[in-house]
Structure 1
Amino acid sequence: MISNTAAVEDVRMTHHGAASGEAPSPPTPEGVPLLGNGLAFSRDPVGAMEEWATLGDVVRIETPGLTTYMVTDPAAIERILADDHERFTISEAQRETFRGVEDDAVTTTTGERWTRLRSALRPAFTRDALDRYSDRMTATTAAFVDEWDDGERIDLYRELRLLTVNVLADALLDIDVRGREDVVMDAADALVDRANFRRPGQLLPDWIPTPTQRRFERTVGELDEFVDGIIDERRGSESADDVCSVLLDAHADGKLTLAEVRHNVVALLLAGHDSPSVALTYVWYLLEEHPDVYESLREEYRDVVGDGRPDAESYDDLERTRNVVTEALRLYPPTLGVSRQSTEPVTLSGYELPAGAQLLLPQRVVHRDERFWDDPTTFDPARWAEPTDRPEYAYFPFSGGPRNCIGAQFARRELTLVLATMLGRVDLDVSMDGPLRFTPSLQLRPENDIEATVARR
């Protein structure tokens, strides 16, 4: 916790700098010797960021060997991600996080290469493409959920991870991964574990063979072999409209290397299953806490879908279901935050920051800021039923601007249709061991055991 005295002292220091002709410096939370703010962040990154945000819209965070500026002003966030995006690039921290697994992917590249990769992927995420994927999403979900027995007790988060791997693989890659999901999930787990802020040896270089690093290299190697097999199989088949075909067509045209094809498929498999499964877990957790909302979704399903299965046409009519997904992403965005790095000196919210400044834009903190949200900690899907005048970047679960998540609309479509399909086939009685806790890593996964009892409809 940060004392009020420390906060006042920081404000005094800022005003003193301004009065003496020096550029004002962002406030810095009280820290501890040697570790600075790193100890508080590693113990509870979510709680620490929420507390630090009370000091101002830009806060300087000091951790061993790194200064990071946390930005929670929507206007400044819009500048960073959209209006002045050319003055900011992905951070070195982001490149380090994904080094060895997504080096040639759209998620970690910049400049002309990023533009080329983004252009190659774009045809796979058009509105027409999303409509084509919709039936596959719901068919895969229905087949998966129908294997649950009435009265069965399931590990909800694991089952939703298995489900989203299968939805992604079928819709975007046109492959069947049943029985092979652990290749993807193990690599994602190793990536999250390597980025865990509490991990012993986290500050050691990657060439030191810690158990965590060895596991990361092994599981990523297995995932690379798995994806290479998919690519080899698909290269000999007829071109289709899925992502794998789109990327291979770009390779055949000389626009992408095979390494770029592989790393973009790997990136889609990792992020494309992990974030949706985290989000769906929190959706079901919230529905358990709000039975009135749960019932309203069942009623909407009966009115819109009836005895069938959701499809592309029903997606637009599932307004309450979409609003539940949107609100869940507000309260529980799947990632810790968006990171950027300034390419030149910039002024944000009145503070001058140097070239190369590391920036952290924490969605959860901004999504719960009472300046922009009424009852910000309350789950209220109805808040999305009417337009408001709140700042656009008071809500950015999938980042924003030109480098926003290219699969954002796919994820929204998937979350809505998968949730609706599940609601039409099962009821889930969700339980959790204690208050919700988060894994301290790049994905805000639930640290709790979350289980559910299945009741067939």
Structure 2
Amino acid sequence: MSGAKRPPSPGGVPLMGHGLAFARDPWSAMREWATEDDVVALEFPGRSMYMVTDPHLIERMLVSDQAQFTLSRAQRQTFAGIEDDAVTATEGERWKRLRRALQPAFEWSGVRGYGDRMAERTAAHVADWEPGDRLDLWAEMRQLTLHILGDTLLGVDLTGDEAVVHEAADALVAKTDFRRPGQLLPDWVPTPTQRRFDRAVGDLDDYISAVIADSGPGDATVVGVLLAAHERDEISMAEVQDNLAALLLAGHDSSAVTLTYAWYELSRHPETRERLVAEVEEVLDGDLPGADDFDDLERVQNVVRETLRLYPPAFATSREATEAVTLGGYALPAGAQVMAPQWVLHRDERFWDDPDTFDPTRWERDADRPEYAYFPFSGGPRHCIGMRFARLELVLALATMVDRVDLDVSVDEPLTFTPSLSLRPESDVFATVREV
């Protein structure tokens, strides 16, 4: 640490520090702060944070020096009360134990078997749409991805129970909204937002308990995998419960966000949609896609990649330093809260030509950029365990839809986002179904 100095700090305001700018427009604020240096010090009411925007330093945090960093305090607080016993909110040996218990359900050999059902559910969903229908696109994609999750990983029909999961997800987003006046209050303070959250968590817990009661440790689902681990005394029932809650919430929300933005961009770039349709027709010849078609759907993959670049569902990854460290020549103390924002790296002109433009063809060209200039599923040992499932789902669902429908998406521009734990649209996103 000899010779290391404190990172620069962009200008803030008295009392609020950088919190006011972040609450108003975190996306613009982070990009502006990143112009100061690759490591900057930020002050928010009640806490300090460091933002890192060098891909090589991020690789150190997430991979090569990951032992010096652990789950951040902010992430633990985010999931407090709903995922305390899940892989999303645990660390150390306990996190490793839970990750091992979940891993068999997410191996590619098993995930690829869900492909047919993903496409079948998508085809059935869009079959209900008629030309001229005006859809709430975000709501439609949430319904679709939740049912795909139920049909595949959980082995349950969620028809009629969607509101329980959606309300829990919405309550969590509301609780973690950066603009919420009670954001800094402890959870035991009975604010309206906290009371809503507590009710939604109770209802979700009841629903998950019913799913568990109807499942067994031999079932070929995530529920069955977790119950088998519980039967071997590897995890507790509370850990079974909270990991299923985490899966239900993040497992449908992130995919719904991505499909919503993919359609938004396809509507704005009809030439890209035409290229997609041509590829799908050539590869599938009227059939539904399956896992065996994944590699051949290259243009669809590139649309998904580009959508995840511009609209990463988790727009920032956070860690906490377990000891004093030096990053980029700057000294960070033990306990430092560190944020690595995908939103900034994915739009950094050092690594991307015309970074704010939606251009799936950029993925057809070789590019010499650092690995962690693009990390929509985080990275290192704590990368998203559902990454393979999500990629397969997004590609097969999008291929199925573009082969059957065309959507004219309308948004009151500019497109805005909810400043919370996921990149949900704050703007209303509507779509009119057109003849194909």
Asked whether the 8 Å contact 2:102–2:226 carries over to 1, the reply is: yes
Provide the secondary structure at the position in 1 that maps to 2:318. strand
Q: Which residue of 2 aligns with 1:172?
A: 153
Task: Give deviations 1:56-89, integer Å, cap 9, x for gaps.
Answer: 1001110111110000000000000001111100
Q: Which residue of 1 aligns with 2:324?
A: 345
Q: Which residue of 2 aligns with 1:300?
A: 279
Q: CA deviation at 1:379?
A: 1.3
Q: Which residue of 2 aligns with 1:265?
A: 244
Matching residue within 214, 226, 237 for 1:233: 214
Q: CA deviation at 1:210?
A: 0.2
Q: CA deviation at 1:32?
A: 1.0
Aligned partners of 2:215 and 2:4: how far apart in 1?
57
Q: Does 1:197 align with 2:178?
A: yes
Q: CA deviation at 1:22?
A: 6.6
Provide the secondary structure at the position in 1 that maps to 2:339. strand
Task: Give deviations 1:277-312, integer Å, cap 9, x for gaps.
Answer: 111111011111111100000001100011110111
Asked whether the 8 Å contact 2:145–2:255 carries over to 1, the reply is: yes
Q: How many residues align?
A: 436
Provide the secondary structure at the position in 1 that maps to 2:190. coil
Range that drifts further, 380-389 or 334-343: 380-389
Q: Which residue of 2 aligns with 1:431?
A: 410
Q: Which residue of 2 aligns with 1:12?
A: none
Aligned partners of 2:370 and 2:393: how far apart in 1?
26
Q: Which residue of 2 aligns with 1:333?
A: 312
Task: Give deviations 1:193-216, integer Å, cap 9, x for gaps.
Answer: 000011111111111100000000
Q: Which residue of 2 aligns with 1:286?
A: 265
Asked whether the 8 Å contact 1:129–1:241 carries over to 2, the reply is: no
Q: Which residue of 2 aligns with 1:51?
A: 32
Aligned partners of 1:382 and 1:456: how far apart in 2?
26
Asked whether the 8 Å contact 2:300–2:395 carries over to 1, the reply is: yes
Task: Give deviations 1:64-118, integer Å, cap 9, x for gaps.
Answer: 1111000000000000000111110010111011001001101111111111111
Asked whether the 8 Å contact 2:4–2:326 carries over to 1, the reply is: no
AA at the equivalent of 1:378: T
Q: CA deviation at 1:386?
A: 3.8
Q: CA deviation at 1:227?
A: 0.5
Structure 1's unaligned 5+ residue stretches are 1-17
Q: Which residue of 2 aligns with 1:137?
A: 118
Aligned partners of 1:60 and 1:434: how far apart in 2?
32
Aligned partners of 2:366 and 2:86: how far apart in 1?
36
Aligned partners of 1:398 and 1:23: how far apart in 2?
31
Q: CA deviation at 1:455?
A: 2.7
Q: Does 1:64 align with 2:37?
A: no
Q: Which residue of 2 aligns with 1:453?
A: 432
Provide the secondary structure at the position in 2 that maps to 1:82. helix
Aligned partners of 1:151 and 1:129: how far apart in 2?
39
Matching residue within 386, 405, 409 for 2:388: 409
Q: Which residue of 2 aligns with 1:74?
A: 55
Aligned partners of 1:85 and 1:409: how far apart in 2?
22
Q: Does 1:152 align with 2:140?
A: no
Q: Which residue of 1 aligns with 2:301?
A: 322
Aligned partners of 2:73 and 2:395: how far apart in 1?
34
Aligned partners of 1:417 and 1:307: how far apart in 2?
14
Q: Does 1:182 align with 2:160?
A: no
Q: CA deviation at 1:170?
A: 0.9
Q: CA deviation at 1:431?
A: 0.6
Provide the secondary structure at the position in 2 that maps to 1:105. coil
Provide the secondary structure at the position in 2 that maps to 1:293. helix
Asked whether the 8 Å contact 1:340–1:358 carries over to 2, the reply is: yes
Q: Which residue of 1 aligns with 2:345?
A: 366
Q: Which residue of 2 aligns with 1:312?
A: 291
Aligned partners of 1:377 and 1:92: how far apart in 2?
31
Asked whether the 8 Å contact 1:196–1:439 carries over to 2, the reply is: yes
Q: CA deviation at 1:144?
A: 1.3
Aligned partners of 1:204 and 1:240: how far apart in 2?
42
Task: Give deviations 1:248-271, integer Å, cap 9, x for gaps.
Answer: 111111111111111111100000
Q: CA deviation at 1:176?
A: 0.3
Aligned partners of 2:359 and 2:131: how far apart in 1?
30
AA at the equivalent of 2:44: T
Asked whether the 8 Å contact 2:112–2:392 carries over to 1, the reply is: no
Aligned partners of 1:95 and 1:230: how far apart in 2?
26
Provide the secondary structure at the position in 2 that maps to 1:340. strand
Aligned partners of 1:454 and 1:48: how far apart in 2?
36
Q: CA deviation at 1:241?
A: 2.3
AA at the equivalent of 2:57: A
Calculate the TM-score normalised by the size of structure 2: 0.98
Q: Which residue of 1 aligns with 2:76?
A: 95
Root-mean-square deviation (Å): 1.3
AA at the equivalent of 2:222: V
Provide the secondary structure at the position in 2 that maps to 1:201. coil
AA at the equivalent of 1:318: L
Asked whether the 8 Å contact 2:407–2:433 carries over to 1, the reply is: yes
Q: Does 1:215 align with 2:196?
A: yes
Q: CA deviation at 1:456?
A: 4.9
Asked whether the 8 Å contact 2:174–2:420 carries over to 1, the reply is: yes
Asked whether the 8 Å contact 1:336–1:441 carries over to 2, the reply is: no
Aligned partners of 1:424 and 1:334: how far apart in 2?
25
Provide the secondary structure at the position in 2 that maps to 1:216. helix
Percent identical across equivalent pairs?
Answer: 59
Q: Does 1:34 align with 2:15?
A: yes
Provide the secondary structure at the position in 1 that maps to 2:215. helix
Calculate the TM-score normalised by the size of structure 1: 0.94
